[in-house]
Amino acid sequence: MDIENIKKELKLEIDKERYNHTLRVVDIAKRLALVYRIDEKKVELAALLHDCGKYKDIDVLLKKVEEFGIILDIISKNNHHLIHSHLGAEIAKKKYDIVDEDILNAIKYHTTGRRDMSILEKVIFIADYIEPERDFDGIEDIRKLAFEDIDEAIIVSMENTIKYIIDKGLLIHPNTISTRNSLILLRNKNRRSWSDRQ
């Protein structure tokens, strides 16, 4: 399916607010793609489809999960916000004919992240986090950081998310912890190899 047809279909599936959010994510993801030198078409497809499973009505969402035979882990099952990314990856594959595993993973892990994310996964994750309508303390710093050091931007966003989840008494998905840990390990490794060279 080409971009224009995906857009037409998406408009029918997700609500207007979600669709407009999607277009903002596409825009920022494309700008990040230039900085991190990733294929623009891949980024556009992943960003366009990242919320294709985000049905507002929980009953519709759960019905789709069943329809697509998705097996959810216990944390995702108990947090409806996490379900749409798993569902989205399946819909992207079966309905929108996406076969590229990197695009499918970028959709699947855009809410929690995961360890050793690809650059496309990172771009979709952070584009969703910093799109222009997002507004919270420290957002401007993360927006700037996203274009300079995407790993650091993701570490900060994971830390914000973990703090928020704890404040609200919600469940933390292990992938959120793994994302932060893997990026901090990478940061430490890079700093060590930098100081070895001095």
State the residues that interact with Fe ion by CB under 5 A: 51, 128
The residue (of 49 and 155) whose beta carbon lies closer to Fe ion is 49
Shortest separation between residue 113's beta carbon and Fe ion, angstroms: 12
Cβ–Cβ under 8 Å, residues 92 and 103: yes
Give the list of residues 6+ apart from residue 132 with CB closer than 8 angstroms, or none: 24, 28
The residue (of 44 and 128) whose beta carbon lies closer to Fe ion is 128
Cβ–Cβ under 8 Å, residues 82 and 173: yes
Shortest separation between residue 69's beta carbon and Fe ion, angstroms: 21
The residue (of 9 and 187) whose beta carbon lies closer to Fe ion is 9
The residue (of 51 and 121) whose beta carbon lies closer to Fe ion is 51
Give the list of residues 6+ apart from residue 143 with CB closer than 8 angstroms, or none: 130
Shortest separation between residue 50's beta carbon and Fe ion, angstroms: 6
Nearest to 122 by CA among 138, 102, 136, 92: 102
Shortest separation between residue 136's beta carbon and Fe ion, angstroms: 15
